[in-house]
Chain A
Amino acid sequence: MLDRTVALDIVLSTLRDAVDQNGGDPASVTEETVIVGPEAVIDSIGVVSLIVDIEQRLEMDHQVSVTLANDRAMSQRNSPFRTPAVLADHIIATESEGLAS
């Protein structure tokens, strides 16, 4: 079972890489940085990349195979990708609900 702290570290690390590649300041990324929407630090393609990169890191480094853009995510009123903290919660929920393969 993945620990939330580990999940959050992966999200923050991956998001910092993405922000850095876009010429932003990776040190400014926190648990509450906005990932999706008008205030987002990355664009929509960046979000796609981010989610895939996180899935791949979970897979390769922790043998956790999850599809984060799952039915659970799509049915929520608020995006489970909106901040690193929320996304980390979503990763843990996805794994615990057996949505991982």
Chain B
Amino acid sequence: MNGVMSWRVLAPYVFVAPALVFVGVFLYGPVVFSVVLSFSDWNFIHPDFNFVGLQNYRRIFADPNFASATWNTLLYCLGLIPAQILIPLGLAALLLRVRSPWMMNFYKGALFLPTILAYSIAGVAWLWLFDPMNGFFNVVLTALGLPASRWHTDPDLALWCVTLVTFWKNFGLNMLLLFAALISVPRDVLEAAEIDGASPWHRFWTIEVPLISPTFFFVAVTTVMNVLDDIVGTIDVLTGGGPFGQSSNILYYMYQRGLGFFQFGQASASAVLIIGLVMVVTWLQFRAFERKVHYGS
């Protein structure tokens, strides 16, 4: 009996232990180790481990590439976060008006399809469209008598090419999530508002959007992460952060410092700054949504 009792007490920990071990070793462990490395001069070329204080932080703050990567991160956020939330919201509202189930499935499937592609495959497909020599876009521009563009190899356009491909690859999931939330808004609430004379536009913003706020919150949190993190794959395939660092972001900068130049200390220092940034952004989002999210049924 005693053995059975102790198994009942221990069993939950046995169930959760493997998950905790993996999360601890492969996610929390490296983050903690990064904090330590950020204050040291250790790397493959320099195997003696010495604490160097804030030297790595000073180095990256003095690096113009870090400054431009930070600025680009801001541009990516300003361009992509509204686009990846508001456009899918509008599309989800339009999907609600589609009556034919066949058309509805076609639109949902077609708009979601890029989401299943690998970042490298999506990148390669767009590289071919952008190709300055024989790519589709320049062929069209030339045929129309317009000057050809250098697209992702143009320092002024590279960032916007990455933005476009990232949007293309990711907006479909947000659209589906928001659509599923909108369709579950009770019809009687909307009919009551219609009888009260509220316009469709007004109804949408004052009734439907607040009612789907839990989904909105989820979409907002995942989109911010997506714009910071998943974009790294697109950057690597499309531009490699170039030309002249014009399309890099802070995570890509960190990746290049660490595994391109093997500057572990500087990479770790930027990792620590990124962790700080993510924590602040996540906290702000929770604060902003805490009071506004409606969790009724």
Are both chains from one complex? no
- Interface of B with A (CB < 8 Å)? none
